[in-house]
Structure 1
Amino acid sequence: MKTDNKFGLWALAWPIFLEVFLQMLLGTVDTIMVSRISDDAVAVVGLSGQLFSALTTLFMTVASGAGILVAQKIGSKLAEDARTIAIMGLTSCAVIGLAMSAILFTFPHQLAGMLNVSDELLPLWDTYVRYVGGGMFLGAMMAALGTAIRNTGNTRAPMYTGIAMNILHIFLNYVLIFGAWGFPKWGLFGVTVSDNVCRLVAVIVLFYVFMNSFERRIGFADLRTFSLRLYKDILRIGWPLGVNMSGWVFSQLAIYSFIAMLGAKELAARTYMNSMESFCFMLGYAVALAIQIRIAHLFGASKTREAYRESFRALYIGLALVTANALLLFLLGNYFMRVFTSDPEILAIGKSLLALNLLLQPAKMLNMGMNNALSAVGDTRYPMVVALVSMTLIATGCSYALGIEAGWGLVAIYSCMITDEYVRGLLVLFRWRGQKYLRKAEKAKEPKASPGLDARDGALSV
């Protein structure tokens, strides 16, 4: 906050990339270890992950809106407002997370029925959803703390926390799943214990960093801080983001339920493929998130022209990175799939998706990059409308019509997802090029003529 150097693209992006890489690594190691339990366990983890993501959007609405405003207020030199917004974001997310934890811990069986979970998966589902979902409030606090800290320009602290969390999580997974070194052999239940212990440690560390991230230190008594004016600003930006995220996640949840209708092998193949795709996109995601922070800061500082140029610089970099990664996965994907499973049917399904991934990753980069640019300046409603229409009609509707009703299977579903990403990406690109919010901000900053003076040259009117 003392200098703008930390708001440079690469200064922001490389710690985010490393943090995301470690998160992806953690997810992959989770999948590999869980696959040693059974492919059914992998299917449960994959499907429940979509459910958790859907519910996560309920608190990410507040966390994302607060994060954007923190960066804008810092750019505008309004440090006290930034501090207040960050505190309200944290307390709101904690309350929402506690509500989600109660629902997931109490009603896992009912949720399974809604998602077409097969009878053979129910025992594993109940265990995983009850205990990992019961710790949802820790995930909510992690999201709020990490988002606020990153938007102050400090992307390194969440990265270091991620490193420690990954090391601890891999260790605990190993000893609690397989009963190594005298620890209990808990299988999938061991994964739930590992998840919650690691999230608790991360919350403690991030909260300490959070307390010292603003010009005036945050104490426990400050957690009661509330400003209705600023909270309205959070919701103004945040609720369309939340609806957008919810629409995407619920669309993916519906698609996962369609894949579950195809069979457990198709569901496991999609879960394995999703882990590999995540490594493709992590560099692009880091750039997209960094540019959101940077544009919000530039926008708050009224540097609108620089904000516009920076968005395209980031987009070109991101497209190059994700395309190169997708090509690498296409060439080596068959070898990577064998790390997860030796089942020939699952391997054959995964192989058919590798070529389609070459089309999917650039579309995701375009969509996320331009969405983040619009969000950074407060233009969140247009992307929300575009996303809801496209995801409902193309991603979800066409996936069911072609993949299930027409019987074309997983490849058809994947193709619908790709089409949806391109449609949304191109529409938000055209919106950004129109510069509506940038021009509005420039106009608001124009000096107004004083009464009795000519607006053109300041001469007295006659």
Structure 2
Amino acid sequence: MNDRSQMNKFSLWLLAWPIFIEVFLQTLLGTVDTLMVSRISDDAVAVVGFSNQLFNALTTLFITIAGGAGILIAQKLGSKRSEEARTIAIIAVKVSGMIGLALSVLLYLEPHFIARLLNLPERLLPLSDTYISIAGGGMVLTALMAALSTVIRNTGNTRGPMYTAVGINIVHVLLNYAFIFGAFGFPQWGLTGVSISTLVSRLLAVILLFYMFIHSFERKVGIADIRLKDRKLFKEVLRIGWPLGVNMSCWVFSQLAIYTFLAVLGTKELAARTYMNTLESFCFMLGYAFALAVQIQIAHLYGAKRTKEAYQSAYKALGIGLIVVSFNALLLFLLGKQLLGLFTDDKEIVAMGISLLALNFLLQPGKMLNMALGNALNAVGDTRYMMIISIVSMGIVATGCSYVLGIHLGWGLIGIYCCMIADEYVRGILILFRWKERKYLRKVEDGSPVNHLDAPRGGVRLEV
């Protein structure tokens, strides 16, 4: 592949639009999935929602590996070191699979203990035993999906994971329909059927992604490569990846704490925030797609030592993202009453939601600032800085101040939402100043290696 076609492959729009379609359809079909599960019972929805929060928290364990590997793969491809990129990809998939397998065994064998440990209500325990043991038993498939999708996406092929995600989500919804309503000659298996549907769709996804993975590099990946090791490259992955995992954990636990505060305020406040969370996801997903795309693009440019282009790419993605999310926030505000009416007839909840939609004008630009420039810092390997400011801001501003304003001072839902907005801007402004420093970019311009573990290598050292 010549340099021109390689760079076209890593252009912002070509990377972004498949990511957007993938995220949009996953969100849309996820909403449909939730509505279908609600036909079983409200308890079933509660169990699925609770279990998915648990699964999301556990995914941070292998996202650490997949996230760090993805950034390094794009960097290595940019610096024409495709063999190292290939080695990193194989190691990432292998290690992620091993972590996922350990989690699968734990969730399959001890669903009751885990549910009790997390204080799930007694009446939900029988349903949770079923769902956590079956769907959670497939965490190895989730780990492989995350690793394979990340690896493939960071080679510049964002269409492959998009097609796979669309296909398996359609299969999942169809199987849910069959197992919940007894369609197509299937029995009505209820929540057990939903669990099986989840496993089958994930298995199909892994098979498709493995096929793409095998052909993602100049040299085809073979069975013998499973024995491939390289301690130095794995240290690079961990150096970038573990702060990503901590960063994601901060967000997961801060959101969990905020939902706990909302539960203290009452069910209506909790419901209003839940509905807003769904609407917001549609609001910022196109901006999120550009943020993911620019991370891949900047990592590739950084590896190629094209630092000026890498620096400007972040601002280009930020500018486009700000226009998009601001327009979406306006549209959401104008249609807010009608959209909230699709979820609830409670006038008090709708009124709360509309007031939050007004504040959403402030939230979305801050969130976009974080996503675009935060991913830019991740792309050049500055993940520890991101981790530190996330720990401080999410811990003090998002979580601590939410309790003080929302609960202690009695500002309620509005107070908590204002603290969430403040957290986005505190982190966003700190990230903006960090990116303007060009710290990692200047190191490359001064002749330093792309990352501190890089050194002249006559080839990829393999330990077999």
TM beyond 0.5: yes
Q: Which residue of 1 aligns with 2:445?
A: 442
SS of equivalent to 1:444: coil
Equivalent AA in structure 2 for residue 282 of structure 1: M
Q: Say yes or no: does 1:379 pair with 2:377.
A: no
Call closer, same or farther: CA 1:176–1:348 in 2, change over 3 Å: farther
1:155 corresponds to which of 149, 153, 158 = 158
SS of equivalent to 2:80: coil
SS of equivalent to 1:153: coil
Q: Say yes or no: does 1:8 pair with 2:11.
A: yes
Q: CA deviation at 1:219?
A: 1.0
Q: CA deviation at 1:131?
A: 2.7
- Rounded Cα–Cα distance in structure 1 between residues aligned with 2:134 and 2:413: 30
Q: Say yes or no: does 1:297 pair with 2:287.
A: no
Q: Which residue of 2 aligns with 1:411?
A: 414
Q: Which residue of 2 aligns with 1:78?
A: 81
Q: CA deviation at 1:263?
A: 4.7
Q: CA deviation at 1:167?
A: 1.5
Q: Say yes or no: does 1:23 pair with 2:50.
A: no
Q: Say yes or no: does 1:245 pair with 2:248.
A: yes
Q: CA deviation at 1:37?
A: 3.6
Equivalent AA in structure 2 for residue 288 of structure 1: A
SS of equivalent to 1:60: helix
Q: CA deviation at 1:28?
A: 1.3
Counterparts of 1:11-90 in structure 2 under 5 Å? 11-90=14-93
Q: Say yes or no: does 1:231 pair with 2:224.
A: no
Structure 1: segments with no counterpart, 5+ residues: 447-462
Counterparts of 1:46-445 in structure 2 under 5 Å? 46-264=49-267, 266-342=269-345, 346-444=349-447
SS of equivalent to 1:282: helix
Q: CA deviation at 1:434?
A: 0.6
Q: CA deviation at 1:242?
A: 1.1
SS of equivalent to 1:62: helix
Equivalent AA in structure 2 for residue 285 of structure 1: Y
Counterpart contact for 1:46–1:271, Cα < 8 Å:
no
User: Mean alpha-carbon deviation: is it higher for 362-371 or for 181-190?
Assistant: 181-190
Q: CA deviation at 1:333?
A: 2.7
Q: CA deviation at 1:402?
A: 3.2
Q: CA deviation at 1:440?
A: 0.7
Q: Which residue of 1 aligns with 2:461?
A: none
Equivalent AA in structure 2 for residue 437 of structure 1: Y
Q: CA deviation at 1:240?
A: 1.0
Structure 2: segments with no counterpart, 5+ residues: 450-464
Q: CA deviation at 1:186?
A: 2.9
Q: CA deviation at 1:372?
A: 0.5
SS of equivalent to 2:342: helix
- Rounded Cα–Cα distance in structure 1 between residues aligned with 2:113 and 2:402: 25
User: Mean alpha-carbon deviation: is it higher for 426-435 or for 120-129?
Assistant: 120-129
Aligned length: 446
- Rounded Cα–Cα distance in structure 2 between residues aligned with 1:37 and 1:407: 37
- Rounded Cα–Cα distance in structure 1 between residues aligned with 2:327 and 2:338: 18
- Rounded Cα–Cα distance in structure 1 between residues aligned with 2:43 and 2:358: 26
- Rounded Cα–Cα distance in structure 2 between residues aligned with 1:46 and 1:346: 20
User: Mean alpha-carbon deviation: is it higher for 359-368 or for 404-413?
Assistant: 404-413
Task: Report the TM-score when normalising by structure 2.
Answer: 0.90
Q: CA deviation at 1:246?
A: 1.3
Task: Report the TM-score when normalising by structure 1.
Answer: 0.90
Q: Which residue of 2 aligns with 1:459?
A: none
Q: Percent identity at matched positions?
A: 66
Call closer, same or farther: CA 1:340–1:192 in 2, change over 3 Å: farther
Call closer, same or farther: CA 1:276–1:108 in 2, change over 3 Å: farther
Q: CA deviation at 1:184?
A: 2.3
Equivalent AA in structure 2 for residue 160 of structure 1: Y
